Amino acid sequence: MRTWFLVLACLLSSTLMAARPYDESADAKAGLQAALGAPDGLPVLVIFGANWCEDCRALARAMAVDPLAKQLAAAFHVVKIDVGNFNKNLDIVASYGNPIKKGIPAAALVSANGKLVYATHAGELADARRMSEAGISDFFRQLADKTASK
């Protein structure tokens, strides 16, 4: 009985996290600076999105549940930044070349020293709810390859 309770609690926790993956009250600049200042030197993957966005929740769910996506995402410090209704944290968005222009979720890959390595400018993730797990994993694999080549 206790085991089932733990399994149910874990499933419920990951479901709730995917339902509201963006902390609307977070200090996005402080979170980003903390990730960029991490001593391990990992690159930072900035995911821009909002809790109202079904595609953003789908991407968060895949990142939390899909084993390959989780493994590939572990190569980065992941910072999720809430953009609200395209009216929050826009200064951060602009500093990475406005990757949300073609929709959210959007991403920017930043080296540990703060240089932009890659940003989604063509809405690559904006249809995440229709992407397969393999498609999302492929996206992360391509990001890992971009990091390795820098």
Write the pLDDT tens digit of every residue in 75-106.
899 999 999 999 999 999 999 999 999 999 99
| DSSP for residue 70 | H
Strand blocks (E) in 3-145: 44-49, 77-82, 106-110, 116-119
Predicted model pTM? 0.84
Contact 45, 143 (CB under 8 A): yes
Q: Where are the domains of the chain?
A: 2-148
For every one of its 150 residues, what pLDDT tens digit does the chain have, with 9 covering 90 and above?
544 444 444 444 444 445 799 999 999 999 999 999 999 999 999 999 999 999 999 999 988 888 888 887 888 999 999 999 999 999 999 999 999 999 999 999 999 989 999 999 999 999 999 998 788 888 888 888 887 776
Strand blocks (E) in the chain: 44-49, 77-82, 106-110, 116-119
Contact 22, 81 (CB under 8 A): yes
Backbone φ and ψ of 32, nearest 5°: -65, -45
Residues 6+ away with beta carbon under 8 Å from 59: 47, 49, 105, 125, 128, 136
Q: Quick check: helix, strand or coil at residue 11?
A: helix
Token duo for residue 49: 């999105």
CATH architecture under which domain 2-148 falls = 3-Layer(aba) Sandwich (3.40)
